[in-house]
Amino acid sequence: MNDVEIDAWQVPILVTAAIVLVEAAFNLVLRSRGLGPPSQRVRTAGFGVLVLLTVTVFVAALGPTRADQLSSVAAAVAAVVALWLTYRSYNATAKPPPRSEEEPAAKPDNPGES
């Protein structure tokens, strides 16, 4: 048996080819049946399958050691992004929003007692 290994540079080419073939197949089926474009859910499910396929092929091409290292780096980047978003969220709630000049001043509760 031949052992066929996929190099990392081949992954985008294979995924692009798979997307083109799947799209061509869907177009042929839809044209032959006279149907319009698929619903939003079908397109979302198809996109999810393609993402899963891409990640699976990418991890398989890298091998377990490099995939483990890459996941560690990705987790570190995600932690930094989460920290930055938390900081931005804290700053947004800690400061009162600026008043626009078009907003009227606050009125007293009892206008006759001022």
Residues 6+ apart with CB under 8 A from 15: 50, 53, 54, 57
Give the position of tokens 């044209």. 31
pLDDT tens, residue by residue, 32-69: 877 666 677 877 888 888 888 877 877 777 777 887 88
- HSE of 26 in the Cβ direction (CA atoms, 13 Å)? 13
pLDDT at 79: 92
pLDDT at 104: 59
Q: For a pLDDT cut of 70, what percent of the chain falls above it?
A: 75
Q: pTM of the prediction?
A: 0.36
Nearest residue to 62 via CA among 6, 1, 106, 113: 6
pLDDT at 83: 93
Asked if residue 1 has pLDDT above 60, the reply is no
